[in-house]
């Protein structure tokens, strides 16, 4: 009997071919804590561990997107050619698995971001994210003429469309107030003129969100309006030019280019004066995706490293049985669980507040505050864990052909996309000073600490949070200097509190053990040697990874 041809990844990847959801028992417990259930994502877990995993690897090595700006006719298509299997994977993720439908059909944003986490690859995840961002803006603020396109973008409609968010310009970067793209109303239509420098989705987007300044508007971020830009204009011609695609260190699966608007037709979203609020709201969606995607990178790096440590022998035994390497695995897993706890907390806050509209409520401002913390923290975790995974592989971990090397490259975009760590720190300060978000933060953390039945560790974390806020408030002239320190301190204390609360709510001492061990790692640099069974349980993802026959998978 003829079998299915082997994938080349079976010989170089230990994570390929596994069900990435079923194995991830800590994450499944966390989902139960946040949404009250362990959803059936096994099929998605298998799909992301096989087809998605291989396609992302193939695109990075062999099949970059290609800008096609020629044709057999005189028309210039300006489209980005994608690998056929990447196109199939994207359609499957949206249509078959419904990753982008969940929030619009009454389910939690946790369900959507679970898909981003399991996909892991930042390039593929980016295409999903910029598409749901476009759907989000239309769903909340689109008028009758354009609103229903959210159904096509989310996968509710069978006629799929792909979205994009084009906010960045070369002279401004994260400083949106420096954007120069102009918008002018001509008869009943708006026309845009300007240049977008980092335009992910260029050449594949059916419609894109873009910021532009209406003639006569303020010369600041508050003067920006938000527009929907279709690929084709009312004469069925290309509505803008894709000038080039960029070569990047990672995220190859998403074409990122430069887009020029020349009398480009556009539809106004909402009212012009609130454009910057809509834009920042939309960025919360992508910053949470960046955060969960970073955790996906960390997890897939860990799966590769644990598998290799389970087959590689040195000095007479498996390397995972050497205490130093066991500690490396433990620290990587502690950081991952801490990162997940903070990111999923931020998602839960957004889930409660995403229907708010400007000028927003305290609940929304708190969600935004925690999103800045989560985005920065998760990016650090992804970089740290993927670097550790490379080191566990030794010399071959630095070789281009092994997937673990790619995961570290992919991790390095997560501190940059959607605002660098400096931007997250500055925006966090703005949320504190102008919106008082830290007061809601303290109240929430106090409630969590009180529920821990006089836990000294919970009280210590609460004191750290209050002390950090006090230092920011008492010396405003120094606040910017210490803002990233504060951002990290908030994240680590929140992680410990959330892990403790998971232990309480789920009646699960393992999360309490993780909280205590992570506390030592994060605040003192000392990690006590845990009981052998506790150590084994944590680093094997509650035994799930030990159910894998790693030797058979590696053909040993």
Q: pLDDT digit string (tens) for 174-226?
A: 899 999 999 999 988 899 999 999 999 999 999 999 999 999 999 999 999 99
Domain shared by 136 and 193, yes or no:
no
Is 514 part of any domain? Answer: yes
Give pLDDT, residue 172. 87
Q: Which two tokens stand for residue 466?
A: 């209050």
Is 383 part of any domain? Answer: yes
Domain shared by 449 and 342, yes or no:
yes
Q: In whole angstroms, what is the distance from residue 182 CA to residue 211 CA?
A: 9
Residue 74: strand, helix, or coil: coil
**CATH code of the domain in which 220 resides:** 2.40.110.20
Is 473 part of any domain? Answer: yes
Q: In whole angstroms, what is the distance from residue 139 CA to residue 361 CA?
A: 20
Domain shared by 128 and 148, yes or no:
yes
Nearest to residue 214, comparing CAs of 198, 244, 194, 242? Answer: 194
Give pLDDT, residue 5. 56
Is 1 part of any domain? Answer: no
Residues forming beta bridges with residue 186, ordered by sequence position = 189
- Write the Ramachandran bin of 164: left for phi over 0, alpha for psi from -120 to 50, otherwise beta: beta
Q: In whole angstroms, what is the distance from residue 18 CA to residue 14 CA?
A: 9
Q: Which two tokens stand for residue 154?
A: 């989310």
Nearest to residue 348, comparing CAs of 33, 105, 39, 34? Answer: 34
Domain shared by 339 and 216, yes or no:
no
Is 3 part of any domain? Answer: no
State the SS3 of 434-501: CCCHHHHHHHHHHHHHHCCCCCHHHHHHHHHHHHHHHHHHHCHHHHCCCHHHHHHHHHHHHHHHHHHH
Domain shared by 366 and 312, yes or no:
yes
Q: Which two tokens stand for residue 150?
A: 């959210």
- Cβ-count burial 45-55 (b if 16+ within 10 Å, e if not): bbbbbbbbbbb
- What is the domain count for the chain? 3
Q: In whole angstroms, what is the distance from residue 476 CA to residue 462 CA?
A: 22
Phi–psi pair at 203, nearest 5 degrees: 90, -10
For the chain, what is the largest distance between any 2 Cα atoms, rounded to a whole number of angstroms? 79
Is the confidence at residue 306, as pLDDT, over 90? yes
Run of H or E including 318: strand 317-318
Domain shared by 171 and 50, yes or no:
no
Q: Which two tokens stand for residue 360?
A: 């927003």
Give pLDDT, residue 554. 78
Domain that holds residue 458: 277-547
Is 236 part of any domain? Answer: yes
Distance linking the first and last C-alpha atoms of the chain: 24
Nearest to residue 538, comparing CAs of 238, 327, 249, 341? Answer: 327
Q: Which two tokens stand for residue 477?
A: 């002239």
pLDDT tens-digit map of 250-259: 999 999 999 9
- If you average pLDDT over residues 355-380, what whole number do you get? 98
Give pLDDT, residue 1. 37
Is 380 part of any domain? Answer: yes
Is 2 part of any domain? Answer: no
Residue 461: strand, helix, or coil: helix
Domain stop point among 249, 275, 301: 275
Q: In whole angstroms, what is the distance from residue 165 CA to residue 153 CA?
A: 13
Domain shared by 139 and 229, yes or no:
no
Is the confidence at residue 453, as pLDDT, over 90? no
Domain shared by 378 and 492, yes or no:
yes
Whether the predicted model's global pTM rises above the 0.95 cut: yes
**CATH code of the domain in which 332 resides:** 1.20.140.10
Domain shared by 85 and 214, yes or no:
no
Sequence-distant (≥ 6) Cβ neighbours of residue 46 within 8 angstroms: 18, 19, 20, 21
Domain stop point among 256, 275, 294: 275
- If you average pLDDT over residues 123-134, what whole number do you get? 98
pLDDT tens-digit map of 210-220: 999 999 999 99
Give pLDDT, residue 529. 93
Domain shared by 57 and 191, yes or no:
no
Q: In whole angstroms, what is the distance from residue 28 CA to residue 536 CA?
A: 18
Q: In whole angstroms, what is the distance from residue 364 CA to residue 483 CA?
A: 21
Is the confidence at residue 105, as pLDDT, over 80? yes
Residues forming beta bridges with residue 164, ordered by sequence position = 208
Domain shared by 244 and 315, yes or no:
no
Run of H or E including 263: strand 256-268
What is the overall mean pLDDT for the chain?
Answer: 95
Give pLDDT, residue 476. 86
Q: In whole angstroms, what is the distance from residue 351 CA to residue 80 CA?
A: 34
Domain stop point among 275, 308, 323: 275
Q: In whole angstroms, what is the distance from residue 513 CA to residue 529 CA?
A: 11
Is the confidence at residue 458, as pLDDT, over 60? yes
Name the residue with tokens 């420098």: 197
Burial of 400 (C-beta count, 10 Å sphere; 0-12/13-18/19+): exposed
Is the confidence at residue 154, as pLDDT, over 50? yes
Q: Which two tokens stand for residue 400?
A: 């281009």
Domain shared by 174 and 208, yes or no:
yes
Residue 156: strand, helix, or coil: coil
Q: Which two tokens stand for residue 513?
A: 């053990």
């Amino acid at each position: 009997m003829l079998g299915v041809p082997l994938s080349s990844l079976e010989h170089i990847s230990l994570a390929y071919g596994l069900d990435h959801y079923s194995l991830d028992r800590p994450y499944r417990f966390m989902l139960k804590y946040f949404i009250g259930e362990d959803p059936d994502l096994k099929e998605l877990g298998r799909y992301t561990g096989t087809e998605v995993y291989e396609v992302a690897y193939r695109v990075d090595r062999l099949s970059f997107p290609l800008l096609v700006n020629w044709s057999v006719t005189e028309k210039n298509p300006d489209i980005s050619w994608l690998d056929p299997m990447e196109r199939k994977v994207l359609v499957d993720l949206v249509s078959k698995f419904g990753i982008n439908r969940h929030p619009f059909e009454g389910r939690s944003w946790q369900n959507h971001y679970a898909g981003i986490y399991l996909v892991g690859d930042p390039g593929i995840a980016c295409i999903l994210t910029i598409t749901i961002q476009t759907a989000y803006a239309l769903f909340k603020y689109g008028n009758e003429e354009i609103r229903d396109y959210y159904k096509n973008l989310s996968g509710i409609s069978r006629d799929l469309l792909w979205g994009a968010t084009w906010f960045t310009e070369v002279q401004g970067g994260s400083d949106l107030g420096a954007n120069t793209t102009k918008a002018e109303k001509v008869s009943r239509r708006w026309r845009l003129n300007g240049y977008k420098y980092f335009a992910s989705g260029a050449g594949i987007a059916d419609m894109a969100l873009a910021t532009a300044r209406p003639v006569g508007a303020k010369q600041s971020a508050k003067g920006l309006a938000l527009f929907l830009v279709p690929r084709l204009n009312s004469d069925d011609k290309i509505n803008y030019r894709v000038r080039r695609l960029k070569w990047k260190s990672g995220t190859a699966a998403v074409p990122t280019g430069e887009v020029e608007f020349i009398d480009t037709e556009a539809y106004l979203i909402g009212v012009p004066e609130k454009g910057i609020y809509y834009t920042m709201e939309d960025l919360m969606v992508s910053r949470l995706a960046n955060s969960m995607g970073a955790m996906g990178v960390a997890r897939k790096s860990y799966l590769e490293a644990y598998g290799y440590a389970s087959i590689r022998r040195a000095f007479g035994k498996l390397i995972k049985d050497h205490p130093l390497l066991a500690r490396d695995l433990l620290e990587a897993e502690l950081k991952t669980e801490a990162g997940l706890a903070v990111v999923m907390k931020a998602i839960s806050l957004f889930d409660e507040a995403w229907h708010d509209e400007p000028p927003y409520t305290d609940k929304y401002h708190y969600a935004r505050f925690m999103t800045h913390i989560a985005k920065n923290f998760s990016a650090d975790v992804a970089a740290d864990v993927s670097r550790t995974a490379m080191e566990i592989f030794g010399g071959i971990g630095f070789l281009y052909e092994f997937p673990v090397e790619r995961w570290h490259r992919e991790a390095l975009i997560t501190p940059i996309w959607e605002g660098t760590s400096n931007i997250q720190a500055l925006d966090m300060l703005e949320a504190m000073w102008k919106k008082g978000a830290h007061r809601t933060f303290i109240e929430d953390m106090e409630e969590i600490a009180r529920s821990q039945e006089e836990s000294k560790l919970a009280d210590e974390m609460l004191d750290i949070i209050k002390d950090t806020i006090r230092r920011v408030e008492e010396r405003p002239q120094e606040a910017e200097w210490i803002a990233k320190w504060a951002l990290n301190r908030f994240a680590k204390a929140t992680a410990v509190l959330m892990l403790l609360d998971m232990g309480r709510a789920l009646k699960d001492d393992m999360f309490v053990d993780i909280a205590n061990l992570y506390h030592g790692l994060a605040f003192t640099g000392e990690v006590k040697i845990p009981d052998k069974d506790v150590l084994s349980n944590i680093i094997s993802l509650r035994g799930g990874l030990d159910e894998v026959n790693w030797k058979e998978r590696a053909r040993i």
